[in-house]
Amino acid sequence: MKEIIAIANQKGGVGKTTTSINLASCLVKNNYKVLLVDFDPQGNCTSGIGLDPTSVEHLIHENILQNKPLKSIIKNTSIKNLDIVPSNLNLATLETLVLKNNIKNPTKVLKASLSELEENDYDFIIIDCPPSLSFLSLNALNAATSVLIPIQCEYFALEAVAQILSVITKIQKETNPNLDILGFLLTMYDNRTTLSTMITTQVTGTFKEKTFKVQIPRNIYIPEGCAQGKPVNIYKPNASGSIAYNQLAKEVIQYVEQKARK
């Protein structure tokens, strides 16, 4: 089993990074080997897992532009079986450098990098995308076998989803026919607000079985854990956020098992 999951939504602050880190950690808890790819120059995924983005010396650039092995760029985290391709602000220069150096298939450079990994190095690769639908996100969607779309229970959530869906359809037709929609995930859910219930009804009504059964609640222990470089299932195992991300991991595993049977 090897699933490459892009966590994408061009809308900012919807829980992409939080979901990348916490889903990864919960998959590890289920005995899977996971590689996180921080593909956002903000470096939030890198810091959220406990590494300092400013002290990261080797970026994926060196693999793409200088053929340095990807494995020399991958870093271990404090969690066994959870590794990361780290990022920092310099990742923002990747597009310009790829174009300047006439690298073939510019929107497939991440796919080429990941193809260096052996089949059994990792069971899951999770790519944290930036809040845009440009070069870095297109690379993530071309490298992925599936995409998970976090949706924050806020105004304009569905407009953003319509935009990303049209990009996904284009990618499926033109460059990555293997890209499947893993699911839509409602994040920062608060059942006391009518907006949360309203968005949930709209999303489940529109996307039906593609909406994850679990909703991620707004839970203070999630950002608190991130600030300390700890996924919530390690920081506060019994917190509602931890229970929800564990449930998400189970649904993702079920999806992958079903896919393998097809």
Residue 193 in the binding site for ligand ATP (CB under 6 A): no
Q: Are 27 and 249 spatial neighbours (Cβ–Cβ below 8 Å)?
A: yes
Residue 44 in the binding site for Mg ion (CB under 5 A): yes
Residue closer to ligand ATP, measured from CB, 175 or 197 = 197
Q: Are 146 and 2 spatial neighbours (Cβ–Cβ below 8 Å)?
A: no
Is beta strand 82-85 parallel, antiparallel or unpaired with respect to 75-76?
antiparallel
CB atoms under 10 Å from CB of 194, counted, come to 8
Residue 152 in the binding site for Mg ion (CB under 5 A): no
Closest listed residue to residue 137, CA positions, set 2, 5, 3, 9: 9
Kindly state the DSSP code that residue 60 receives in the 8-state scheme.
T
- Site residues for ligand ATP, 74-113, by CB under 6 A, read none
Residue 22 in the binding site for Mg ion (CB under 5 A): no
Stretch of 137-145, 174-182, 197-205, 212-220 contacting ligand ATP, by CB under 6 A: 212-220
Look-up of token digits 């990009």: 167
- Site residues for Mg ion, 1-20, by CB under 5 A, read 16-17
Q: Pick from ligand ATP, Mg ion, none: which does 53 bind, CB < 5 to 8 A by kind?
A: none
- Site residues for ligand ATP, 119-158, by CB under 6 A, read 131
Which listed residue (23, 125, 222, 248) binds ligand ATP by CB under 6 A? 222
Which listed residue (3, 5, 8, 18) binds ligand ATP by CB under 6 A? 18
Stretch of 71-79, 100-108, 195-203, 219-227 contacting ligand ATP, by CB under 6 A: 219-227
Nearest approach in angstroms of CB 91 to ligand ATP is 13
Look-up of token digits 């490459």: 4
Question: What is the DSSP annotation of 168-230?
Answer: HHHHHHHT-TT-EEEEEEEESB-TTSHHHHHHHHHHHHHHGGGB-S--PBP-THHHHHHHTT-
Closest listed residue to residue 183, CA positions, set 231, 253, 260: 253
Residue 188 in the binding site for ligand ATP (CB under 6 A): yes
Helix 16-29 to helix 240-261 angle (10° resolution) is 70
- Name beta bridge partners: 180: 146
Residue 223 in the binding site for ligand ATP (CB under 6 A): yes
Q: Pick from ligand ATP, Mg ion, none: which does 241 bind, CB < 5 to 8 A by kind?
A: ligand ATP
Report which residue type is found at 27. L
Nearest approach in angstroms of CB 18 to ligand ATP is 3
The angle subtended at Cα 180 by Cα 65 and Cα 135, nearest 5°, is: 30
Residue closer to ligand ATP, measured from CB, 121 or 224 = 224
The angle subtended at Cα 3 by Cα 216 and Cα 243, nearest 5°, is: 25
Residue closer to ligand ATP, measured from CB, 176 or 196 = 196
Residues shown for the chain: 262
**Binding positions for Mg ion, rule: CB under 5 A:** 16-17, 44
**Binding positions for ligand ATP, rule: CB under 6 A:** 12-18, 40, 42, 44, 131, 187-188, 216, 218-219, 222-223, 226, 241
